[in-house]
Structure 1
Amino acid sequence: MTEPRFKDLPPRIAKLPTDERGYPVPYFVEWIDGKPDFRVMSSKNLARAVNYRRCWICGEQLGRFLCFAIGPMCGVNRISAEPPSHYDCARFAVSACPFLSKPLAKRNDRNLPNGKTVAGIMIERNPGVTLLWVTKSYHVMNEPDGVLFRIGEPERVQFFREGRLATRAEVDHSIATGIDNLDRLAQREGAKAVNELEKCKQRFTALLDQLLPAQAAAFLKGRRENA
């Protein structure tokens, strides 16, 4: 087992095996020929996470609060392709995962083996901002190609970019460059879907207006303390 490349790991993350680079291997990762492939989701562990209420990142038991690490578009429609995690595990992921912490990073689909990715229609882009959505509930939605998760009402919401709290401008840019994807999907489904999406947009905008001023204050405080 390779020595971890990160210091001061959250206790649950520190228990995970590491790959040859020293990265912790999350619970959701599929092992192929004795090596982890971070691009492929373990269907067995997905079932275990849902059925036994396990963290999607560390695999340990979840508590009362559930954290979804999602893009802003998933915040608009409140649907995730992945089950929840502990907040501490998700917080580590937004700092350590190359795709989540580097806005220009792209998914590597080269020589992708046959395996389970995610259900539903995935928007093929790096949103540049990751949303940590803490809730007490979610509902499983069975789809022809797998399962999706309808996220419950938020108890806490934070936006991150490059491992730090995101600014309102960065959040707005991520939304502006991604919302057309949801618009096209809704238009394809018809007028009812378009109307429902508009309601989702309004609800999400109200949430941003309520929560992001506090995040902006925390962001500025952190910059002053680190100056």
Structure 2
Amino acid sequence: MTTRPDLSQLPYGLTTRPVDPRRGLPIPAVNVYPDGEVDFISINGAKAMELAVRGRCGLCALPLIGPVAFLGGPKAAEAGFYSDPPMHEECAEAALTLCPHIARPHARRASERRREHDATHAVGFSDEKPSEWVLLVCDEYGSALTPAVDGGVVPVFVVGKVLRARRFGYQDGVLTEIAQE
């Protein structure tokens, strides 16, 4: 029996999203494809770019007002480039607990053969799950198309001035914020 996640403390924006009946999770805007199909494994790159250009959160699709957040591994934070689009900090915090790939230390993405949509990544990016996650909050962002490993192009998002960084690591099987020293 699968336990349903507690959605009582969701940020407002995520409460406006449709809920996947099988998983009981709000469906992020970037996981919906033009045909209406939902794919939790891959990001709809065109939708991600559209939302970013329009100044909207990649998860809830509501306007981004003020600082924006990015969520990814330490390498993405160090480089200042993310494959996941900008989002509200509270939406990123929710993703840390709701997204099984992030929240569970041993959860892996489905194999390529199970992916419903073409999922590729930028040259130099990795599909490997990081051992810790970095939530960067910045004052602004940019976006660009960059070469993909399959020969096409994918969007990447560039962080502006970093206002704060929060790190999360797995401790005893639970994703926990790491105290800053």
Please report the TM-score for the alignment, with normalisation by the length of structure 1: 0.66
- Tell me if the contact between 2:49 and 2:143 (Cα under 8 Å) persists in the aligned partners: no
Tell whether 2:162 aligns with 1:154: yes
Partner of 2:126: 123
Larger radius of gyration: 1
AA at the equivalent of 2:168: F
The verdict on how the C-alpha distance between 1:4 and 1:94 changes in structure 2, with shifts beyond 3 A counting, is: closer
Partner of 2:150: none
Quote the Cα distance in structure 2 between the aligned partners of 1:148 and 1:130: 18
Q: Please, which runs of 5 or more residues in structure 1 have no aligned partner?
A: 168-211, 214-227
Quote the Cα distance in structure 2 between the aligned partners of 1:114 and 1:63: 31
Partner of 1:66: 68
Quote the Cα distance in structure 2 between the aligned partners of 1:6 and 1:31: 24
SS, match of residue 36 in structure 1: coil
Equivalences, count: 167
CA-based RMSD of the aligned residues comes to 2.2
Deviations 1:151-192 (A, max 9, x none): 12210110123342125xxxxxxxxxxxxxxxxxxxxxxxxx
Percent identical pairs in the alignment equals 26
Pairing of 1:9-88 with structure 2 (within 5 A): 9-20=10-21, 21-31=23-33, 35-88=37-90
- Tell me if the contact between 1:66 and 1:137 (Cα under 8 Å) persists in the aligned partners: yes
Partner of 2:117: 114
- Tell me if the contact between 2:121 and 2:127 (Cα under 8 Å) persists in the aligned partners: no
Deviation at 1:33, TM superposition (A): 6.6
Q: Please, which runs of 5 or more residues in structure 2 have no aligned partner?
A: 148-152
Quote the Cα distance in structure 2 between the aligned partners of 1:124 and 1:41: 12
AA at the equivalent of 1:157: A
- Tell me if the contact between 1:39 and 1:117 (Cα under 8 Å) persists in the aligned partners: no
Please report the TM-score for the alignment, with normalisation by the length of structure 2: 0.81
Task: Name the structure with the higher helix share.
Answer: 1
Select between 86-95 and 157-166 the one with higher mean Cα deviation: 157-166
Partner of 1:137: 140
